[in-house]
Amino acid sequence: MVEKFHLELDMMKEHTLEMGFLSRTMLKIAVRALKNRDLECAAWVLNRREDLTRWDDSIEEEALRLMALYQPMASDLRTIACTLKMITYLTRIGIYGRDIVVGLNKVSEMPPVPGLFSIPRMTEIVTSMVEAGLKAYATDSISPIESIGKRDDEVDALFFSTFQECIAAMTGDPEKIPICTNYILVARYLERCGDHACKMAEKVHYMVTGERITIE
């Protein structure tokens, strides 16, 4: 019975990692679509929304089933509790990816601002934070998430600089107001994804150590 439980627990974790890969990929491809004005990539992201929902629902069912059948305790129970939180954060990250491309067709004909300000760098850091949280979850180790707070500080600073640069660009050229407003929204979505990655790290830390932390 115990062996069967742990096999099913490992399977639930594997499914969560697959969902995490999807969520992170949606975010990365969404920003790529924005940068390249690639409507095919945007369509791919939009079409993954249902996949994300299916993962969310099925993993939640797995977790509830494990609790009902086996009544786990201690670290096993923390793993299931962490998983239920993880899928919520991963869903939100994937949805932000979708939000980035929802309006792409409206801005695709507007002149882009070269470099997208700091958005590509923000994406790089945020996806590395998500990857760190998933690695910590997969390996039952807090080592991958030790520097995640510092990375989140960098994301916050990049959001602020992007906001300022967009305001300056709009002030200098009112025709850039629509596209720069969109970039501010995208930067805000990425900043929120960084916050969700921090929450993932907090829950994984509790799963592994039994100690609660706050990453600010």
Q: Rounded mean pLDDT of 6-26? A: 98
Residue 124's domain is classified under what CATH number?
A: 1.20.58.220
Q: Is residue 89 part of a domain?
A: yes
Mind listing the pLDDT tens digit for each residue in 70-104?
999 999 999 999 999 999 999 999 999 999 999 78
pLDDT confidence tier of residue 5, bands split at 50, 70 and 90 = very high
Q: Is residue 214 part of a domain?
A: no
Q: Rounded mean pLDDT of 44-54? A: 97
pLDDT at residue 50, as a whole number: 96
Residue 40, pLDDT > 90, answer yes
Q: Is residue 154 part of a domain?
A: yes
Q: Is residue 23 part of a domain?
A: yes
Q: Is residue 200 part of a domain?
A: yes
Burial class of residue 172, CB neighbours in 10 A (0-12, 13-18, 19+): exposed
Mean of pLDDT over the chain: 95
Q: Rounded mean pLDDT of 26-54? A: 95
Q: Which domain holds residue 76?
A: 2-209
pLDDT at residue 114, as a whole number: 77
Q: Rounded mean pLDDT of 183-193? A: 97
Q: Is residue 120 part of a domain?
A: yes
Q: Is residue 179 part of a domain?
A: yes
Q: Is residue 216 part of a domain?
A: no
Concatenated DSSP letters for 181-202? Answer: HHHHHHHHHHHHHHHHHHHHHH
What pTM did the predictor assign?
A: 0.95
Mind listing the pLDDT tens digit for each residue in 137-148?
999 999 999 999
User: How many domains, the chain?
Assistant: 1
Burial class of residue 213, CB neighbours in 10 A (0-12, 13-18, 19+): middle
